[in-house]
Chains A and B, each alone.
Chain A
Amino acid sequence: MKVWYRTQARIWELFYPRISPEVPAPDLPQEVIQRIIAHLIYHRPSLLACSLTCYSWYIATVPHLHHTLIILNRRHYVTPKHTWPEPLRNAGRLGLPPLVRRVQVRRVNTDYTGLYPGLFNRDTLRHFSALSNVQKLEIDDLDIPKFMPRIRQYFGNFSPTLRSLSLCGPKGSCRQLLFFIGLFQYLEDLELLDCVPDNFESDLVEDPTLIPLFTPPLQGRLTVSRSTRVGLFKNMVDLFKGIKFHYMDLFDVEGMGLLMGACVETLETLRIYPKDPRGEQLSLKG
């Protein structure tokens, strides 16, 4: 009789499991959780909800939530919490910099003076240096001459991990620009947008002793838009001992022939963008 009752109880439990605080619910394997979270990485509200579920879900979610750090500039038009240096400071305070894979320093209005050393104080620099796993760096109006010669102190921490660099409207001579690119020894993708010298830069004298610290592989994707700097790509090929890009997106570029000549053996895709919306004016310079 005892055996019968025990068996009946087991069958009963199969259909109506007991929920008792002594028996914890089995955790899903972390791989399964990560797979679930992977479906939600582009939906921030869902990620935020998942991060509040339990500790294991929080662990799976948090790298996606803090993957990108976007810092806007001046306090006009945008809330202060999004402007320099608040996002950086907040991330540093919460210990998030090692989770950041992508950093964007963006201009939002025309009175932006660019990124220059004056924006950094001891606290900001400490948080900026803690960004140790950044793979993609995007900066608008980087004022390279103002960072010289101690530029490595500010950006050297990106060197071991950075794979992709995007500069929009950088300031500085060709050599200074290449010196900055040469700080990142594993750099593969390069994006140069609005790379046009302004009046101030035309007075800059090229320093021939400025040699890049590293020779990055530069074998991924090159995107160049509106680049009229004379000699930039020639110097790039000379100083980096050749370039090996597999993909090139070119729009209004001075020295197009030189770029193609340098990548003849590796180039897989070349996209040439016309200058006009109708697509009839192909810019074929150099």
Chain B
Amino acid sequence: MLEIPAPSIVPRRGSRVLSPTTLTFLRSTLSTITSPMFTEVAIIYQDDDFRGIAWHSTEAYRKTTLAERTAEASWHRSLFQAFRKIHATRDFRLVLCAEVWGRVREYAVEVLERAIAVERAAERLDYLPSEPLVICSPRGYWKFHG
């Protein structure tokens, strides 16, 4: 399994395309590693990646504006385009992992499932051999940032 944060593939702000460096790295990694156990690519979504989560108030959620919802949908769309490019290198199972804690876990999973549903409805997931998996797992991904 290759675990990589979603904003590393497509930044949330600014450019909405997969950077050539990241693309080259991911392609070379996926084509180099021959281990039979290496079959999944897990995309890590942090709390900042969900616009409806309010971390600086007592409430867990906040109301998002139409512009924010559109921007979030656009970001997810860009990510799925990037996954398609990466998948051309090697067959893998796509895992979307929400790394959030507490009450917002269901919300985070719901957002990811909705993003997948949008792609599926538009028939843009044909290239994947199996359905993308959505999981919620607090893995301490930020342990190096203190």
Contacts and interface: CB of A to CB of B under 8 A. Distances in A.
A172 B25 CA distance: 31
B38 A268 contact: yes
A279 B5 contact: yes
A220 to B, nearest CB: 14
Contacts of B11: 280
A274 B12 CA distance: 14
Contacts of B38: 267-268, 270
A51 interface: no
B7 interface: yes
Interface in B30-66: 32-35, 37-38, 44, 46, 48
Given A274-B7, A279-B7, A260 B33 contact: yes
B142 interface: yes
20 contacts: A225-B144, A246-B37, A251-B144, A260-B29, A261-B32, A267-B35, A267-B37, A269-B2, A269-B3, A270-B2, A271-B3, A271-B141, A272-B8, A274-B8, A278-B7, A278-B12, A279-B5, A280-B12, A282-B5, A284-B25
Question: B4, B12, B28, B34 — which one has the most chain A CB atoms within 10 A of its CB?
Answer: B4
B112 interface: no
A273 interface: yes
Contact of A277 (B21, B34, B145): B145
Given A257-B28, A267-B38, A272-B3, A282 B22 contact: yes
B35 A266 contact: yes
Contacts, number: 70
A274 B142 CA distance: 9
The 9 closest A-B pairs by CB, nearest first: A279-B5, A268-B37, A282-B8, A279-B7, A271-B3, A280-B7, A251-B144, A284-B25, A280-B11
Contact of B34 (A246, A265, A274): A265
B1 A268 contact: yes
Given A268-B35, A272-B2, A279-B5, 17 more contacts: A225-B144, A260-B32, A260-B33, A265-B34, A266-B35, A267-B38, A269-B2, A270-B2, A271-B3, A272-B4, A277-B142, A279-B6, A279-B8, A279-B44, A280-B7, A280-B11, A282-B25
A264 interface: yes
Contacts of B2: 269-270, 272
Interface string A141-166: 00000000000000000000000000
A271 B21 CA distance: 17
